[in-house]
Chains A and B, each alone.
Chain A
Amino acid sequence: MTLVELMPFSVLVPLIAAPLCALLPGRILPWLLALASAIASTVIAALVLPQAIDGPLSYAFGNWPPPIGIEYRVDSANAFVALLVSGLAVLATLWGRKSVNEELDQPQGVFYSLFLLALAGLMGITLTGDAFNVFVFLEISSLSTYALIAHGPDRRALLASFRYLIMGTVGATFFLIGVGFLYIMTGTLNMADLAERLPEVADTRTVHVALAFIIVGMGLKLAMLPLHLWLPNAYTYAPNFISVFIAGTATKVALYVMIRMIYTVFGADYSYAVLPLTAVFLALALAGMFIGAWTAIFQANLKRMLAWSSISQVGYMLLGLALGTVAGLTATFLHLFNHALIKAALFMAVGTVAWRVGSVRIEAFRGLGRQMPWTMTAFALAGLSIIGIPTTAGFISKWYLILAAMDAGQPWLVALIVISSLMAVVYVWRVIEAAWFQSRPADAETVREAPLSLLVPLWLMVGLNFWFGLDTRLPVAGATAAAEALFGPTGVTP
């Protein structure tokens, strides 16, 4: 079996494992199967990445040659995102067992089956080269995610899930309308083929509208302000394991699709000329950065705080995209990668506390620094990364973002990036303040440190934040290759 033939299995393994998983009894077996599938996915994705950096790999499903059949087309950009998604799934699953056991007192076959479907969906969106296929996988991942969120222990999870369902469906439908318009105009759904045929019909209203629909649709899925309303509740009330997983992956994949459509299908020159994307993205990015961080400062529920922080961090990614340069896009991909590491670590830390203390409200963290030193230290270190202190992954993102802003001749953006980072200091500090500088309330029970099965994955995640803050070769090479692949070898600036 060649690598090209192996490649689709990073989607197929979780997809095939999902129904099997639903049949498995008890708790351990479904978890083991989910973990094994995620690992298999990751291994394949890791094998594919170096090859994809050399040149795109193409696999035709059922031997129907593209553009007739469905093509999986993998270049640096999606190979990079695929490795991130699957790798994060492994770490989240490792961490998740204890947490899921706490929140779900029932056989977990269905739960892990849904998780595998969500993973398969996200991997499928990332790897496929077919616009309609993106929609199909988008729905697979979204539907399973709605169900997963509804598993949350709080009854409000149902409402959160329902809201996400409405908004998510609107988003997916918009995307589908956009793809439909493209199909009407060109008669093809294959992305590479679309890219070839679109120039002929580029100046029609239909294609303009298609682009707008696709951007708004994906904007909903990636929680671009002001389309973010579903996100805080969804992250807050989902089971902690799911918060860790979707915070690191779901919005990232949606962003990837948006970038792919803008750059590969429509072409950057065209997209940025037809729609005022620079201005729109810039305004929404800045609004997201500041409103997200500002709102995060005032949240009493720490999962909600992290959710708002995510909205702020999505702003950074959009900012890189708004610049419309190779450097900007590199910064976007880097932050996409680094933020996944940071946010997963933070959600794991908060989830670990929730597992032990049973609450994620800031009052519950008072005085915890002494009772759960390892967990809280992990939170503080991941906090350094989200602020962007040197030696952390977060610093590398900000560094490239600032570099891109300077490069694009917009030094005033640097000041805004710095100010919004300082707002991150405030919301991280609130937690540190509660954990170390306030005493444990007298009526609170004394808790012990969390068990190793939660601490080890958590610290692994924190370790990765520092690892990729020092050894930047993989993310920087991956992000650079991704940006260059999207811009084309010449790297033309629109």
Chain B
Amino acid sequence: MSPLTVILIPFAGAIAIALAAGQPRLRDTLGWIAAIAFFIGVVQQIGPVLDGAGREQLLWTILPGLDLMLRVEPLGLIFALVASTLWLAATLYAQSYMKAMNYPHLGRFFACYALALGATAGVAFADNLITLFIFYEILTISTYPLVTHSGNADARRGGRIYLGYLLTSSIGLLLVAILWTYFATGTVQFTEGGILAGHVDETWLPLLAGLFFFGIGKAALMPMHRWLPAAMVAPAPVSALLHAVAVVKAGVFTVLKVAVYVFGIDLLAETGSGIWISWFAAFTIIAASLVALTLTDLKARLAYSTVAQLSYVVIGAMVATPLAIIGAVMHLAMHAVAKITLFFGAGAIQVAHNRKTIPELDGLGRVMPWTFGAFTVGTLSIIGLPLFGGMWSKWYLLLGALETHQLVLVAALLLSSLLNILYLLIIPIRAFFAPAAEGVPTEGIHEAPLPQLIAMTVCAAGCIALFFWPDPLFHLAGMLVQ
């Protein structure tokens, strides 16, 4: 399948789902067909990329030098694989969750869900900054109805912050950086080794880096992070697939893409133009973790944890040694699998017991052992302990930071792991061992519906599998820095 076909599958799926809005059975079947076809399409791209000949496709020339163009390269492939695989799990989960919570307008919901995945694939396969920018904005807009799905005043307020931050940062900073890049270099094409070297004066590079990396608001680098907690008004499947995987990862993916293919890791490493950004990222990690400690709302705490984890990737991209880049790319995948597990857990708790704040969860682990088991696995992977995939990415990121003697960054990464224990691991610990909170049954098992449990378990198993078999991921990430 050509890259365009892969991107069009979710878009076509969205139209079909919207047309079938009135027939739940057909709508759900179409949701599955789209997710599965998309997954197959992405998997088919693996072979050519491994052979070093990812598929290329020129869609349209807007102006000379301004093409809409797609190309499958290792980084985009990893992102697309993560998104398409987790979409399968999320489909299973979301169909059950949305029905259990009695949400209305499911046709619109699942159509926008599919649209967002199509836009994600577009971001993943874009071969130049303009194409990427267009899909990036489609992703913002297609997820807006999902954020405000419940339609109440809270949702509208969240949606306003969401759209406000993402649109203004991308138009005000990212688009300017793209224009600057074009007028300095005459191209916006992602090129191995970067395009900026020799075209932009070294004194200006840090500024350009600032425009790019703060402009990519989806990477939630402070102070551009406020949209992410605001987006938590969305139903759990949206928080899980979009705000732990597709949207935020589109952000850090773009950061990596710009670092590797626009700046070029040699240029970043030699000039250190991104170092000041990595300090912002280190600050973001610590500050977001501290904020997370103070929050009692489960999803809000997870959101701030995501803010912190995204900055890991930013640090990797800014340090820009081969090991750091590999670590950053792996973290993109590792964190996605772990965080979706946590959000699935948060949603399952809502479905089964309608609880949202952390003190209310005391003792709930004994009633929902399966959910909290998966939750524990996800937490441990995020902390980065052995036996869980998250270890590998943290390991390489640390090595990269050590290599460049950025001790501030090393300290931030280590401190962050400790803080993770305090604000994430404490949740399952209290659920399993603390005395039951008010209204929590002391015996019997009361779990969320089976499809949700399956989805959660599969993702938790993924966290463990990625510890034992990180080779494919490592291999693909390695292709970037050769």
Contact = CB atoms under 8 A, between A and B. Distances in A.
A115 B127 CA distance: 49
B149 to A, nearest CB: 13
Contacts of A439: 153, 156
B60 A470 contact: yes
Contacts of A23: none
Given A436-B156, A476-B63, 7 more contacts: A390-B130, A390-B175, A391-B134, A403-B183, A425-B167, A425-B171, A470-B62
B63 A399 contact: yes
B176 interface: yes
B16 to A, nearest CB: 21
28 contacts: A389-B137, A390-B62, A390-B130, A390-B133, A390-B134, A390-B175, A391-B62, A391-B134, A396-B63, A399-B66, A402-B179, A402-B183, A406-B183, A414-B179, A414-B183, A418-B179, A425-B167, A425-B168, A425-B171, A425-B172, A433-B160, A436-B159, A437-B159, A437-B160, A439-B153, A470-B60, A472-B62, A476-B63
Given A390-B130, A390-B134, A425-B168, A472 B63 contact: yes
Contact of A396 (B62, B130, B171, B172): B62
Which 7 interchain pairs have the tightest Cβ spacing?
A437-B160, A406-B183, A418-B176, A437-B156, A422-B172, A390-B130, A390-B134
A120 B303 CA distance: 62
Contacts of A389: 137, 171, 175
B119 to A, nearest CB: 13
Interface residues of A, number: 23
Interface string A399-410: 100110010000
A56 B156 CA distance: 57
A396 B65 CA distance: 13
Interface string B157-191: 10110001001100110011001000100000000
Interface string A465-488: 000011010001000000000000
Nearest to B138: A391
Contacts of A391: 62, 134
Nearest to B153: A439
Contacts of B157: 437
Interface string B124-151: 0000001001100100000000000000
Contacts of B156: 436-437, 439
Interface of B: 60, 62-63, 66, 130, 133-134, 137, 153, 156-157, 159-160, 164, 167-168, 171-172, 175-176, 179, 183
A322 interface: no
Contacts of A387: 171
B154 to A, nearest CB: 12
A399 B183 CA distance: 10
Contact of B171 (A402, A422, A433): A422
Interface string A404-436: 001000010010001000100100010001001
Contacts, number: 46
A433 B167 CA distance: 13
Q: Is the interface of B mostly helix, strand, loop or mixed?
A: helix
A466 to B, nearest CB: 11
B223 to A, nearest CB: 18
Nearest to A370: B151
Contacts of A406: 183
Contacts of A402: 179, 183
A374 to B, nearest CB: 15
Contacts of A390: 62, 130, 133-134, 175
A186 B204 CA distance: 56
Contacts of A437: 156-157, 159-160
Contacts of B134: 390-391
Contacts of B160: 433, 437
Contacts of A399: 63, 66
B272 to A, nearest CB: 25
Contacts of B137: 389
B232 to A, nearest CB: 18
Contacts of A476: 63
Contacts of B179: 402, 414, 418
A436 B163 CA distance: 11
A402 B184 CA distance: 12
A396 B63 CA distance: 8
Contacts of B175: 389-390
Contacts of B66: 399
A470 B67 CA distance: 10
Contacts of A470: 60, 62
A437 B164 CA distance: 11
Contacts of A472: 62-63
A399 B164 CA distance: 24
Nearest to A384: B137
B344 to A, nearest CB: 30
Interface in A435-494: 436-437, 439, 469-470, 472, 476
B166 to A, nearest CB: 13
Nearest to A395: B62
Contacts of B168: 425
Nearest to B157: A437
B59 to A, nearest CB: 10
A418 B134 CA distance: 18
A411 B160 CA distance: 34
Interface string A240-273: 0000000000000000000000000000000000
A399 B179 CA distance: 8
Nearest to B176: A418
Contacts of B63: 396, 399, 472, 476
Nearest to A438: B156
A357 B271 CA distance: 58
Contacts of A433: 160
B308 to A, nearest CB: 29
Nearest to A380: B141
Which residue, A390, A402, A406, has most C-beta atoms of chain B within 10 A? A390
A406 B66 CA distance: 17
A73 to B, nearest CB: 31
A403 B182 CA distance: 10
A215 to B, nearest CB: 31
A451 B176 CA distance: 39
Contacts of A422: 171-172
A422 B157 CA distance: 23
Nearest to B164: A429
A413 B381 CA distance: 50
Contacts of B153: 439
A414 B167 CA distance: 21
A396 B130 CA distance: 13
A481 to B, nearest CB: 16
A469 B137 CA distance: 16
Contacts of A425: 167-168, 171-172
